[in-house]
Amino acid sequence: SSDVIHDSCDKAAKGDPNIKFDFCVSSFEGNPKAKTATGVADLVKVAIETAMANATSIGSIISKLLDNKTLDPYARNCLEDCSELYSGARSSVQSGGKAFEGKDYGTANAEISSAMDAPDTCEEQFKEKKGYVSPLTKENNNFFQLLAIILSFMNLVPK
């Protein structure tokens, strides 16, 4: 199964500049379900579960940041938007997972692709106003990369 992970991550990283091989491998190596993967389709399912958990976790981070009573109104606005974006992204990933399970690869691809807007839009909002830095840059980058891995892996699944 380690070979499945390494081979799939190698292909994904070579095929997409957004995917870092080490990030890809580390996203799966600690997951017991990934260790029993017999093919790339199994890894897609694991990656979808990971992405959904990741979106939920980012939502919690945003909630904690919003608890700060001294938060600047612009930053608060951005974080509230990010919260909505991640809620929508989680829903899209879930729909994409269901579509993938049903072998509706076109819909799966569209749903996962639409979820990629969340980290991008969230990050861009902070950059729109001079002097603002997103407190979610790492999370946004990781989530985007996870989604890129899912899309790449879906393309490797024999149809």
Tens-digit pLDDT profile for residues 116-136: 999 999 999 999 988 889 999
Q: How confident is the model at residue 11 (pLDDT cuts 50, 70, 90)?
A: very high
Q: How far apart are CA 143 and CA 118, in angstroms?
A: 9
Task: Using alpha carbons, list the distances in angstroms from residue 88 to 81, 83, 121, 137, 151.
Answer: 11, 9, 12, 18, 18
Q: How far apart are CA 99 and CA 96, in angstroms?
A: 5
Contact 149, 46 (CB under 8 A): no
State yes or no: pLDDT of 1 exceeds 60. no
Q: Residue 141 belongs to what domain range?
A: 1-156
Q: How confident is the model at residue 98 (pLDDT cuts 50, 70, 90)?
A: very high
Q: What is the pLDDT of residues 50-76, one digit of tens each?
A: 999 999 999 999 999 999 999 999 999
CATH code for position 150 = 1.20.140.40
State yes or no: pLDDT of 2 exceeds 80. no
Residue with tokens 């958990």: 53
Rg from Cα positions in the chain: 16
Cβ atoms within 10 Å of 73's Cβ, excluding its own: 7
CA nearest 85: which of 54, 115, 49, 50? 115
Q: How confident is the model at residue 30 (pLDDT cuts 50, 70, 90)?
A: confident
Number of compact structural domains in the chain = 1
Percent of the chain having pLDDT more than 90?
Answer: 91
Structure tokens at 135: 């407190």
